[in-house]
Structure 1
Amino acid sequence: MVRRCGFNVRLMVIPVSDPLRIPGNIIDLFADTTARLGARWQAEYGTVVKLHPQIGTSDAILVTDPAALRYIFQGDTAERFIRAPEWYAMADLLAGECIGSVEGDVHKRHRKGIRPAFGVPETRALLPVFNAIAVKLCEKWENVLALETGDSTVLNISDWISKASLDTFGEVAFDYQFGGLDGHPTELAAAMPTVLLETFGFMSVSQAAVVSLLQYIPMSFIRWVLNDSPTHALDHVRNTNTVSTRIILDLINDRRTMGAGGKKDIMSSILKAGLNDDPSSRLTDHEIVSELRFLLLAGQETSANTLTWALWELCKFPDIQTALRKEIRDAREQKGGKDFTYQELQAMPLLNAVIKETLRFAPVVQNMFRENLQDDVLPLAQPITLKSGKVVNKLPIPKGTKIYASVGGYNMNPGVWGDDAHIFNPQRWMNQDTDSTNALGMYANVMTFSAGAKGCIGWRFAVMQLQNLLSTLIERFEFSLPEKGPKIIRANCMATQPMIEGEYEKGPQLPLVVRRAA
């Protein structure tokens, strides 16, 4: 059924502008500044397409079909698909041995070891911390507005939200104050927000070629290069890892010496869980450090960037922003001005619709990478047309196929979301029931948090932070686009970050007009 040396079916092939370019379409995926490339290829070529062959590399396909993605990521069949070796190298560089860089039984041990920190009760217990930092951010903005002669100011929302998110993660992860909003960032706070940007940034043709060839290089050699290569980007990552390891190990030792007491941060939950006699869930101190570093990088970027894009979209749809503000204020009035509980945040339909639609429309991660361990056959929810003209509803793939799961493409698949999939429309979520038998992903049928046993373990944490911070900001402030504002691009730096075209060296920027809401 499957020919080991390659496909025995002729898929549609995405053309490349320069046939001699070594990384083929890979550079296009990494250099995309619209976060819409997967959706465009899907519309033009289908829900499973073959990427332009890379010189000397395995077959590669781009997948946006929901049935194929469920097969790859969820259920028993997901064990046949591993993260590509290139991903192991990158995750190991950024965080060390963590759930993002291990497979099999080791992955199960790591996930079991940190799962107690992300249960529903544990997540709800963190809401007061979320709320305190959200209020603190509002106070900082009030101080800025007080110095203005007019009723508004222009703020780099990306920078402010990133600081608030990092401060939040520091406190809830290991009871550590980063000091970002206070204007006195610690050594670690100064390094963390730029790690992904400086490490990955905009990938050049030569960098993409190296990534595409990593599969043929022994991991021991790759790790040696990553640990010793004298480049600015890698030096920055290594320095950040050294600083974070020292700080977190000191915190672990202090916690063991003084006892966790009633602390409810993630590190305390992991340490408590590790006191049992079950070796299948016990993590070493260095593994805990790696997990916290990975969660900090992944979680902070997801929450900060998602909220930034939510505010950007609400600026373009002021009627939705106004309706959302009314919903929040009405809910606040009903409870006499007190802080919202978890249940009350869940009960606001438009708030949750805006969050779900932002996660769908502006996923922080555009692509996820997998490789199959055996010859296999992918089921298809949406039949595809081969180059021969034949229509098929299943696709045989040979062992070792590189699979690029397009999160952005699936999240805009008209077969899943309707003909308006390319439009930001929170209304689609109002009174919508998801068919649980066909659901994909950890939340709301979107792939933004991945799916299955390797899906984002902190998705509840991220959603609650978004609910809390977005409701707090919209209640107090009105956001709009600057008149004749700059062109904003969606830079793919592992996480999709807003940047001003032509000012990439300044890092993430999203200037918005902010004023007190009437």
Structure 2
Amino acid sequence: MNIVLEIYNEPGFSRTVIVGAIALTVWGLLRRLTRKSSLDNIPGPPSSSFIAGNLQQFFDKHESWSFQEEVNKKYESVVKLTGFFGSPVLYVLDPKALHQIVVKEQDMCDVSEFQLDTIQLSFGPGLLGVKGEQHRKQRKMLNPIFSAAHMRNMTPLFYSIARDLRNGIIKQVKESPGTDIDILTWFSRTALELIGQGGLGYSLDSLSSHAATPYGMAMKGFVPALDPFAAAQFVLPYIRSLGTRRFRGWLFSLLPSPSAKRFKDIVDTMDTESRNIYTTKKSALEAGDDSVVQQVGEGKDIMSVLLRENMKALESDRLPEVEVLGQMSLLLFAATDTTTTALTTIIQMLAKHQDIQTKLREELLEVHQNYGEELPYDELSALPLLDAVVRETLRVFPPLGTLIRQARKDILLPLSKPITGRDGSQIEQVVVPSGAMVIVGIRGSNLSKETWGDDAEEWKPERWLSPLPQAIKDARIPGVYSNMMTFNGGGRSCIGFKFSQLEMKVILSVLLCSFRFSTSPTEKNVIWNHGVVRYPTIGISDMPQFPVLVETINEGL
């Protein structure tokens, strides 16, 4: 992965070959799209474009929220969308169908080949970039590292980093009292340092200054840089036969686009840093335990544990070096952007709901009086209002609003409740044809009024402070976390969701005891952009940021 996008320079390559390959691909595409589909009877919105179908509306950075909301309200639990050149795309909210997709038929309705290509080009063959037995082998190796027992060991380290964050914000507030603070950048840097120390045993950002490190800036810009290419996943599977992966990488490098160059530079920065960390970590482990203990994280970080377990594993179970490197880059991305977005949204909602912010602060101060500055893992996890605020934010505003899957064979999806077809018939099950794209509606499922009630779209943490309605339990949502799809379900559920929960709760338990957050006048210019991970910008800027007013009320417990 040293050079992510290589130049195709094999001899004998000519323009004739390119034109011929494209012509054959287009012919195959048109031949496929003129066939009738088993999804034709599923109701859905009319296509707005011959080329892009509904996909421009569904995934547009700014307009997608209103379009998805309209689709969720107007249609039933499965919806037929129109993809590129009229190809059918199935949007799924039905719990029983979701269970079939993410649990029972995971291998046969999995991440598309184009997505796997993109992930491997970006991060290498880590957990999200592989499938089948290779995926199961990696997950088996990683599962124990993300256990609750290991998270208990991480708690003191997380508190240390959270205090550094608090001190950095205090310094900025003193230097510029009464002015906006970009809380997203602080959270992005903190999340990077948390996964750096807790995940890799390596400090990536000391939080000692206002400015992010070059690596931090690369991570912050990854999702906006990827956005221009996100829609390609719906059309490029049809032209995967166009040369080798190396050749397709070369085509990408030729794109006359600043976004393409920016994306490549970001990926190269992440790869270089990951290789440097890996070399340092491996050398420390080979030097013996005393050397590891001297490192950040004292050998308890995820990568140190993974490398030790990998060395002890049977040859057949051991991960090759390229896959270990893939885990590193992927961990850094997956644990940074999602946690940053979730924390930023929580602060946004608490700034708008001062009564809940006050009650949460009181809850935290009371328990801190009993345990001091660092709350034990079990006590932190058991705080009812803190847990409710985190759960409700992740339900209403999941960092990832959708997931894309591709059927690798004809898939039969049973429905929890029949829907009415275009011809008026009652449809109790849907056949997804091989090759068709499926959109898992994470946010749509989380906001289902049939499951969560008429106030499903409202942010109401108090709903978690009493037993959940029976309708929620009866729905049997296949998500791994709290009857919602936020962290997905099945074998591709988010392996680090306990890590993420701990990060958020530790940071909130420190910041809310030290600061009062209020809505900034600048927030009226904030736009939440749809992307691989949702992110806020001020106006149409490409750089994620979120302004908030911060008042220091306690510089330390």
Secondary structure in structure 2 of the residue aligned to 1:78: coil
Deviation of residue 182 (structure 1)? 2.0
1:381 aligns with 2:407: no
Deviation of residue 161 (structure 1)? 0.8
Query: How far apart, in 2, do the equivalents of 1:484 and 1:216 lie?
Result: 44
Deviation of residue 185 (structure 1)? 5.1
Deviation of residue 223 (structure 1)? 4.7
Structure 2, gaps ≥5 residues long: 1-34, 255-259
Which of the numbers 519, 532, 537 marks the counterpart of 1:494? Answer: 532
Partner residue, 1:194: 221
Change (3 A) 1:49 1:108: same
Q: Percent identity?
A: 28
Which of the numbers 135, 158, 166 marks the counterpart of 1:107? Answer: 135
Aligned ranges for residues 288-327 of structure 1 at < 5 Å? 288-327=324-363
Change (3 A) 1:302 1:242: closer
Query: How far apart, in 1, do the equivalents of 2:58 and 2:246 lie?
Result: 25
Change (3 A) 1:285 1:133: same
Greater CA deviation, 349-358 or 227-236?
227-236
Greater CA deviation, 168-177 or 224-233?
224-233
1:354 aligns with 2:389: yes
Partner residue, 1:212: 234
Query: How far apart, in 1, do the equivalents of 2:215 and 2:491 lie?
Result: 31
Q: CA RMSD in A?
A: 2.4
Which of the numbers 202, 220, 242 marks the counterpart of 1:176? Answer: 202
Secondary structure in structure 1 of the residue aligned to 2:551: strand
Query: How far apart, in 2, do the equivalents of 1:370 and 1:251 lie?
Result: 37
Query: How far apart, in 1, do the equivalents of 2:315 and 2:400 lie?
Result: 33
1:88 aligns with 2:116: yes
Higher relative contact order (CA 8 A, sep 6+): 1
* Amino acid in structure 1 at the alignment position of 2:85: I
User: What TM-score results when the alignment is normalised by the length of structure 2?
Assistant: 0.85
Partner residue, 1:278: 314
Deviations 1:406-440 (A, max 9, x none): 11111111112111111111111113357399242
* Amino acid in structure 1 at the alignment position of 2:357: Q
1:226 aligns with 2:217: no
Which of the numbers 299, 304, 308 marks the counterpart of 1:263? Answer: 299
Work out whether residues 480 and 513 of structure 1, in 8 Å CA contact, stay in contact via their aligned partners in 2: yes
Query: How far apart, in 2, do the equivalents of 1:67 and 1:308 lie?
Result: 32
Deviation of residue 457 (structure 1)? 0.6
Query: How far apart, in 2, do the equivalents of 1:369 and 1:296 lie?
Result: 22
Partner residue, 1:422: 457
Partner residue, 1:331: 367
Query: How far apart, in 1, do the equivalents of 2:215 and 2:493 lie?
Result: 27
Greater CA deviation, 313-322 or 216-225?
216-225
* Amino acid in structure 2 at the alignment position of 1:276: K
Greater helix share, 1 or 2?
Answer: 2
1:240 aligns with 2:265: no
* Amino acid in structure 2 at the alignment position of 1:23: A
Select the structure of larger CA radius of gyration: 2
1:158 aligns with 2:184: yes
Across the two proteins, how many residue pairs are aligned to each other? 502
Which of the numbers 68, 82, 104 marks the counterpart of 1:52? Answer: 82
Deviation of residue 119 (structure 1)? 1.6
Partner residue, 1:122: 150
Structure 1, gaps ≥5 residues long: none
Greater CA deviation, 221-230 or 378-387?
221-230
* Amino acid in structure 2 at the alignment position of 1:225: R
Change (3 A) 1:374 1:223: same
Partner residue, 1:443: 481
Secondary structure in structure 2 of the residue aligned to 1:153: coil
Deviation of residue 350 (structure 1)? 0.6
Change (3 A) 1:28 1:281: farther
Query: How far apart, in 1, do the equivalents of 2:126 and 2:515 lie?
Result: 39
Deviation of residue 326 (structure 1)? 1.0
Work out whether residues 189 and 212 of structure 2, in 8 Å CA contact, stay in contact via their aligned partners in 1: no
Aligned ranges for residues 132-143 of structure 1 at < 5 Å? 132-143=160-171
User: What TM-score results when the alignment is normalised by the length of structure 1?
Assistant: 0.91
Aligned ranges for residues 361-510 of structure 1 at < 5 Å? 361-433=396-468, 435=473, 438-483=476-521, 485-502=523-540, 504-505=541-542, 507-510=543-546
Query: How far apart, in 2, do the equivalents of 1:55 and 1:80 lie?
Result: 24
